[in-house]
Amino acid sequence: MRHPKVLAAALALLSAAPAYGTQQLPDSLRILAPLRDAQARFERIRRWNLPWTPQFGGGEGEQIIGRFRYWPEYDARWTPRPEHDRVIRERNKLLALLDSAATILPDNGWITGQQVRYLIDGGRLEDALRRASECRAQGWWCQALTGLVAHLRGDFTAADSAFAAALPTMTEADRCRWTDLSLVVDRDLVRSYRAAGCGNRDSLNRRIWWLADPLYLVPGNERRTEHYARLVMSHLFEDTANPYGVPWRDDSHEMVIRYGWSVRWERESRSPGASATQPTIIGHQRRGGRHFLPSASFLAEPSTMGWNDWELDPVKPREIASPPYSTRFVQLEPQVLVFRRGDSAVVAGVFHFGEREEGEKNAEVALIVVPDEHAAPTMVQETVTDGIARLEARVARRPALVSLEALDSADSLAARKRYWLDVDSAAGTGFALSDLLLIEGFEPLPRQLGRALRLARPSAHYKPGEPIQLYWEIYRVSADEPPFVSLTVVKQGKSVFRKVAEFLGFASRERPKITLEWREAQPTTRASIGRSVTLQLPDDQAGRYAIRLKATTPGGETAETEKEIFVEKR
Please state, in angstroms and rounded to a whole number, the distance separating the CA atoms of residues 174 and 141.
Answer: 11
3-state secondary structure of 81: coil
Is residue 450 over pLDDT 80? Answer: yes
Number of domains in the chain: 3
Within a 10 A sphere around the Cβ of 388, how many other Cβ atoms? 17
126 shares a domain with 53: yes
Residues 44 and 149 in one domain: yes
- Asked whether residue 302 is domain-assigned, the answer is no
CATH number at residue 510: 2.60.40.3880
**Residue 441 confidence class, pLDDT cut points 50, 70, 90:** confident
Q: Is residue 316 part of a domain?
A: no
Whether 324 is covered by a domain: the verdict is no
CA distance 495 to 497: 5
If asked whether residues 483 and 406 sit together in one domain, one would say: no
Do 105 and 245 fall within a single domain? yes
CB neighbourhood size of 88 (10 A):
13
Query: Do 437 and 415 share a domain, yes or no?
Result: no
Query: Cβ(178)–Cβ(169) under 8 Å?
Result: no
Same domain, 186 and 268: yes
Q: Which domain holds residue 393?
A: 336-421
State the burial class of residue 359 (Cβ atoms within 10 Å of its Cβ: 0-12, 13-18, 19+).
exposed
76-85, 207-216, 429-438, range with the lowest pLDDT: 76-85
| One domain, residues 515 and 568 | yes
- Does residue 213 lie within any of the structural domains? yes
Q: Is residue 97 domain-resident?
A: yes
SS3 27: coil
Residues 143 and 203 in one domain: yes
- Residues 295, 186: Cα–Cα separation, whole Å: 5
- Regarding whether 251 and 143 lie in a shared domain, the answer is yes
pLDDT of residue 75: 55
Write down which residue in 421, 448, 467 finishes a domain: 421
pLDDT recorded at residue 487: 95
Claim to verify: residue 340 and residue 463 sit in the same structural domain: no
Residue 468 lies in a domain: yes
Q: Does residue 310 lie within any of the structural domains?
A: no
The pLDDT value recorded for residue 537 is: 86
Does 393 lie in the same domain as 480? no
Better pLDDT: 165 or 509: 165
pLDDT value at residue 265: 94
Angle (nearest 5°) at CA 224 between 320 and 179: 105
Tell me: do 154 and 278 sit in the same domain: yes
Of the residues 373, 404, 421, the one at which a domain ends: 421
Residue 202, in any domain of the structure: yes
Domain final residue, candidates 389, 421, 453: 421
What's the Cα-to-Cα distance from 297 to each of 27, 207, 317, rounded to whole Å?
Answer: 55, 12, 16
* DSSP H helical ranges for 312-442: 423-427
Q: Kindly report which listed range (71-80, 136-145, 431-440) carries the lowest average pLDDT score.
A: 71-80
Share the mean pLDDT of the chain.
88
